[in-house]
A and B are shown apart, each in its own frame.
Chain A
């Protein structure tokens, strides 16, 4: 697909530069685990290339169940924003991934120093959380099932 717009484009150039200054480029090979459910949520990523699967542990020695995948142009990770600052899900690179990584402490310090940037960023992340919540609700309806219509 052609180059998507960046989810940070909403920030004015100066603030975007300030945010990018604390970020750095990272890459992960296919199959790498980015984080595990319950681990300390101390960073987030802006995905540039590749796909990441968000998964959840299921009991009985089964492989993790994939809940959702994220790809280029999407933000990965919001658990660093609010307590208990633990990852709700795990994340694994499905394909080779290139991303920009942002350490939560640096970003939170930036937000404290520039509340306008903080407000804009928190609005952006609230949007991400709201989108994922809405998507989850819609999937609960099991819309594409042969006799779909909603939960029993």
Chain B
């Protein structure tokens, strides 16, 4: 879907520190409201006077009923968004992108695999699956991060452990870390994967997604049962500028979520 909308003013209702460089912002409409988002879709967030960047929706309804976005400060625009305080205003366009195909996962086990900030666009999937246990089978949530301090949504993750099979692993343990160490795919060994009735939704750095998808296929999961979210640089988000092109796909319109069967070959090409 490429809904063309002008940026609408949204007010920051609440902010929440996730890690040293990452913050969640709950945004409520200051006037007109955007159409509803679905899990995996993203908005263009405009920090006034600085610029606009794509940010996934990390919860469809925050405590104040608003949209939640989780922003990691990596450059000028994301740092300005990270610095926003309650009461301040931001411009919002959207919803953009395909979103996770949760219909395909109906009646099946759902395996969510996230790397770093990649957990943000997957959090609404976890909410959706936990809200409808009658529709989905087992839920597995596997998360990999650089260090224990980089883990976002710690409180949520602890709560999810009661109702899902949750694994967290880090690349670099610090003192006091007693959990798993290693790449996220090592957590798969503890998950009794049923390849013919599982859908895997993967988001993280592209190399991590490729490695994860290949590992899943090595365990018998068909490529069309693996969805990945490809977050290449974007500008217009409406399918016009060509900035987000990956082969025949415009990722702002045909993505960011795509079946691995559609992109497996494209992701192995060095430059497209």
Q: Produce 1/0 per residue, A111-152, CB < 8 A to B.
A: 000000000000000000000001100110111111110000
Chain A residues with CB below 8 A from B178, complex form: 94
Determine if A4 is an interface residue (Cβ-Cβ < 8 Å).
Answer: yes
- CB pair B204–A143 under 8 Å, yes or no, is yes
A17 shortest CB reach to chain B, Å: 23
B residues less than 8 Å from A53 (CB atoms): 181
In the complex, the answer to whether B207 meets A72 with C-beta atoms within 8 Å is no
Does B21 interact with chain A (Cβ within 8 Å)? Answer: yes
Stretch at the interface among B5-13, B41-49, B91-99, B188-196: B188-196
Closest Cβ of chain B to A51, distance in Å, is: 7
List A contacts of B145 (CB < 8 A): 144
Chain A residues with CB under 8 Å of B181's CB are 53, 66-69
Over the window 74-96 of chain A, the binary record of Cβ atoms lying under 8 Å from chain B Cβ atoms (1 yes, 0 no) is 10000000000000000000100
Q: Could you tell me the dominant secondary structure of chain B's interface residues?
A: mixed
The total of chain B residues at the interface (CB under 8 A) is 33
Is A13's CB within 8 Å of the partner chain B? Answer: no
Cβ-based interface call for B235 (8 A): no
B196 to chain A, nearest CB (A): 14
Contact A134 B211 (CB under 8 A): yes
Measured CA separation A144–B115 after assembly (Å): 7
- Say how far A35's CB is from chain B's closest CB, in angstroms: 17
**How many A-B contacts at CB < 8 Å in the complex?**
81
Residues of A with C-beta under 8 A to B140 = 1
CA A142 – CA B150 in complex, angstroms? Answer: 13
Residue B102 lies at the interface, judged by CB distance under 8 Å to chain A? no
B208 is an interface residue with CB less than 8 A from chain A: yes
Asked if residues A143 and B180 are in contact (CB atoms below 8 Å), the reply is: no
Question: In the bound complex, what is the Cα–Cα distance between A32 and B167 (angstroms)?
Answer: 23
Given the complex of chains A and B, what is the CA–CA distance between A114 and B171 in angstroms? 40
Chain A residues with CB under 8 Å of B74's CB are 146-147
Say whether A143 contacts B115, CB under 8 Å. yes
B206 CB to closest chain A CB (Å) equals 9
Bound CA–CA A73/B190 (angstroms): 6
Give chain B nearest CB distance to A131 CB in angstroms.
8
Given the known interface contacts A69-B169, A71-B180, the answer about A146 and B21 at a Cβ–Cβ threshold of 8 Å is: yes
Interchain CB contact under 8 A, B116 and A2: no
Partner of B116, one of A5, A72, A144: A144
Q: Are B189's CB and A4's CB within 8 A?
A: yes
30 residue pairs of the A-B complex, CB under 8 angstroms, read A1-B140, A1-B167, A1-B190, A1-B191, A4-B189, A4-B191, A51-B180, A66-B173, A68-B181, A69-B169, A69-B180, A69-B186, A71-B180, A71-B186, A71-B190, A73-B190, A74-B186, A138-B207, A139-B171, A139-B182, A139-B183, A142-B171, A143-B205, A143-B207, A144-B115, A144-B144, A144-B146, A144-B204, A146-B21, A148-B205
